[in-house]
DNA sequence: TCGCCGAATTTGTGATCACAAAAATGCTTT
DNA sequence: AAAGCATTTTTGTGATCACAAATTCGGCGA
């Protein structure tokens, strides 16, 4: 998967960055419960570091909307509501539609090949009933498209939005997925990229997002709240110096 | 100017927040030179605080795109290029267009009145040749529209984008402003809000942004770089305990 | 005068500490 | 047993310190 632009903090080995990535992944994997308070000392304890890097990592996640601050200064996982999902849906339709349109105008042959490969791998995983790999490949497919747009700021914004919706994408499995027109839509998008049809690319991507997030919004209870699906299987953390474990749900 | 939504960190009195606001304002006012390295100890010294709150404030600004990190861990003011302006232009057209469309569907009478008032104040300032007030009122006008949309996440994203383009909006004065169709466009937008014409509201706002940022992009030199206009007059900082001064250009 | 190399300085990072606000606990009283 | 209140514990905040990496500076040699 070639990345045309936006070299990420690949070489950042600071503890702050490691903590950021660990917590971010735990969040994406749904390993924190919505509304759960996450204390600095808890994270520091789990990862075996001091408060300093934890504070900076968590504050960054707050700035990105992945966490929110209590009025009285503590950090918690945001509760998802129908209104919030609908807001995110409309924003994502705009931005990811824009990125797809730009990708249609800028994508190279090899980038399109990478997108096509990711699309194939989605089908393979889906046929196997492998939901975890499915989700992973869907993400790769999407970001392969967005990376082909060659717009670093746009890519950053989209990543921030995925961080907010990520824990709730589990809810699409398995019911929504099986009824989805997914493969055909992706096929049309790829054709649009090849024919440099920006409007068609935008339309396909926006429509995909509309369907998925509208489905999630409809899962809200009478109060408008949406509970995330059960977290995916807890895979052990790598790294982590001494006695550090992975995050656990309902910790603290 | 009624704020329908998104109660900001109004009651956050932490040093971190104060540092964040100070640096953010200095950045918006163009008091830092593009490419300038901003060291933690310098900011801490100017504001009379320790490194701790400064680090968190600057890291947040990095996360918001207002600063960027050197590969070898230091923070600097991003250089603006034509490509970046064009990218920001297209993103802003989408998001601020979306916000305007939502505002057309949701704005209350009193919100529309506030928007109209801001539009009038722009004209007054412009007739006086008061560029600083002009810019201030333009900002108020835009955010009055966006606040009327009632979409907190969208508002946050737009604020982040303004933070990135802010220091370069000086460049519109006075040449672009005098040739602009500004007042008429704002009048049409307000009419669209009143008639609940979302498509028209979106079109007017997007067109405004397109013209302004296209103009800025055309100011790039042969290398694609864009220099910001001279900073506006340095107004003294408030607060600041002991011996602390305001930021100065080319500091360090 | 220019380029190179080692020392001195600057600067970001992470840990630790003291402190105050907030939250939790437990005791008392009705 | 429930509600109020004081005490203890938890938790975020900000300052300070030690350290290593990066940068700057100064002098030497070509």
**CA–CA gap between residue A72 and residue A28 (Å, rounded):** 25
Going from the C-alpha of B109 to that of each of A190, A225, B123, B213, the distances in angstroms are 46, 30, 22, 31
Check pLDDT > 80 for residue B9. Answer: no
pLDDT of residue B247: 67
Within a domain: residue A229?
no
pLDDT tens digits along B59-113: 999 999 999 998 778 899 999 999 999 999 999 999 999 999 999 999 999 999 9
Within a domain: residue A184?
yes
Instruction: Please report which confidence band the pLDDT of residue B229 belongs to, taking 50, 70 and 90 as the band edges.
Output: low
Chain B residues lying within 8 Å of A209, measured CB to CB: none
Inter-residue contact A165 to A213 (CB < 8 Å) = yes
Within a domain: residue B216?
yes
Which of A69, A98, A156 is nearest residue B94 as measured by Cβ atoms? Answer: A98
pLDDT of residue B250: 43
Three-class SS state of A151 = coil
Chain B residues lying within 8 Å of A95, measured CB to CB: 91, 94-95
Query: Do A33 and A127 fall within a single domain?
Result: no
pLDDT of residue A224: 81
| pLDDT mean for each 10 residues of chain A (252 residues) | 43 91 91 90 96 96 93 86 97 98 97 96 90 89 97 96 88 71 89 97 96 92 77 36 50 38
Protein-covered nucleotides on strand D (Cβ within 7 A): 10-17, 21-23
Determine the protein residue whose CA lies at the shortest distance from the C1' of C16: A50
Query: Do B213 and B134 fall within a single domain?
Result: yes
Within a domain: residue A135?
yes
Q: Hey, are the CB atoms on B95 and A94 less than 8 Å from each other? A: yes
Check pLDDT > 60 for residue B244. Answer: no
Answer with the residue of higher pLDDT: B177 or A5: B177
Check pLDDT > 90 for residue B228. Answer: no
Q: Give the CA A51 to C1' C18 distance in Å.
A: 15
Instruction: Please report which confidence band the pLDDT of residue B240 belongs to, taking 50, 70 and 90 as the band edges.
Output: very low
Within a domain: residue B237?
no
Answer with the residue of higher pLDDT: A213 or B33: A213
pLDDT of residue B2: 43
| pLDDT average, residue stretch B39-56 | 96
Going from the C-alpha of A227 to that of each of A78, A84, A85, A92, A136, the distances in angstroms are 11, 13, 12, 21, 21
Interface check A95 vs B, CB under 8 A: yes
pLDDT tens digits along B138-155: 999 999 999 999 999 999
pLDDT of residue B230: 57
Query: Do B72 and B89 fall within a single domain?
Result: no
Within a domain: residue A250?
no
Q: Hey, are the CB atoms on A88 and B157 less than 8 Å from each other? A: no
Out of B23, B43, B76, a domain closes at B76
Instruction: Please report which confidence band the pLDDT of residue B243 belongs to, taking 50, 70 and 90 as the band edges.
Output: very low
Which of B60, B151, B157 is nearest residue A60 as measured by Cβ atoms? Answer: B60
Chain B residues lying within 8 Å of A87, measured CB to CB: 151-154
Residues with CB under 7 A from strand C: A 14-16, 49-53, 56, 70, 72-74; B 37-42, 51-52, 55, 73-75, 252
For B22, the domain range is 15-76
Query: Do A130 and A189 fall within a single domain?
Result: yes
Within a domain: residue A183?
yes
| Ramachandran sector of residue A224 (left: φ over 0; alpha: ψ -120 to 50; beta: rest) | left
SS3 content of chain A, % helix, strand, coil (to 5): 60, 5, 35
pLDDT of residue A179: 67
H or E element at residue B68: strand B68-69
Peptide bond into A174 cis (omega under 30): yes
Instruction: Please report which confidence band the pLDDT of residue B174 belongs to, taking 50, 70 and 90 as the band edges.
Output: low
Query: How many CB atoms are closer than 10 A to CB B196?
Result: 12
Query: Do A35 and A101 fall within a single domain?
Result: no
Query: Do A185 and A149 fall within a single domain?
Result: yes
**CA–CA gap between residue B196 and residue B204 (Å, rounded):** 13
Interface check A79 vs B, CB under 8 A: no
| pLDDT average, residue stretch B151-170 | 92
Domain CATH for A201:
1.20.120.530
Query: Do B41 and B99 fall within a single domain?
Result: no
| pLDDT average, residue stretch B11-24 | 92
**Which stretches within B149-197 are classed as H helix?**
152-165, 175-178, 182-194
Query: B87 to chain A, minimum CA–CA distance in Å?
Result: 7
Structural domains in chain B (count): 2
A 5-64 residues with CB below 8 A of B?
9, 11, 14, 16, 55-56, 59-60, 63-64
DSSP for A34-77 reads: TT-EE-HHHHHHHHT--HHHHHHHHHHHHHTTSSEE-TTS-EEP
**CA–CA gap between residue B2 and residue B111 (Å, rounded):** 6
Query: Do B55 and B92 fall within a single domain?
Result: no
Domain CATH for B56:
1.10.10.10
Query: Do B69 and B92 fall within a single domain?
Result: no
Within a domain: residue B150?
yes
Query: Do A197 and A98 fall within a single domain?
Result: yes
Query: Do B180 and B91 fall within a single domain?
Result: yes
Query: Do B122 and B207 fall within a single domain?
Result: yes
């Amino acid at each position: 998967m070639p990345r045309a632009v936006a070299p990420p903090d690949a070489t950042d080995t600071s503890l702050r960055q490691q903590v950021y990535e660990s917590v971010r992944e735990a969040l994406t994997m749904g390993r924190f419960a919505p509304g759960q308070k996450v204390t600095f000392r808890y994270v520091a304890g789990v990862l075996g570091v001091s408060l300093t890097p934890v504070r900076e990592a968590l504050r960054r996640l707050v700035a990105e909307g992945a966490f929110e601050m209590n009025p009285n200064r503590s950090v918690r996982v945001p509760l998802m509501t129908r209104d919030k999902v609908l807001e995110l849906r409309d924003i994502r339709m705009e931005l990811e539609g824009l990125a797809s349109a730009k990708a249609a105008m800028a994508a190279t042959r090899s980038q399109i090949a990478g997108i096509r490969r990711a699309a194939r791998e989605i089908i393979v995983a889906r046929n196997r009933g492998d939901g975890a790999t499915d989700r992973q490949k869907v993400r790769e497919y999407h970001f392969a498209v967005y990376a082909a747009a060659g717009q670093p700021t746009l890519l950053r914004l989209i990543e921030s939005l995925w961080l907010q919706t990520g824990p709730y994408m589990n809810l699409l499995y398995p019911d929504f997925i099986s009824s989805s027109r997914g493969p055909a839509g992706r096929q049309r998008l790829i054709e649009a990229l090849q024919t440099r049809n920006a409007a068609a690319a935008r339309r396909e991507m926006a429509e995909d997002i509309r369907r998925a997030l509208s489905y999630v919004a409809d899962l809200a209870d009478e109060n408008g709240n949406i509970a995330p699906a059960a977290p995916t299987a807890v895979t052990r953390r790598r790294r982590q110096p001494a006695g550090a474990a992975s995050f656990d749900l309902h910790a603290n």
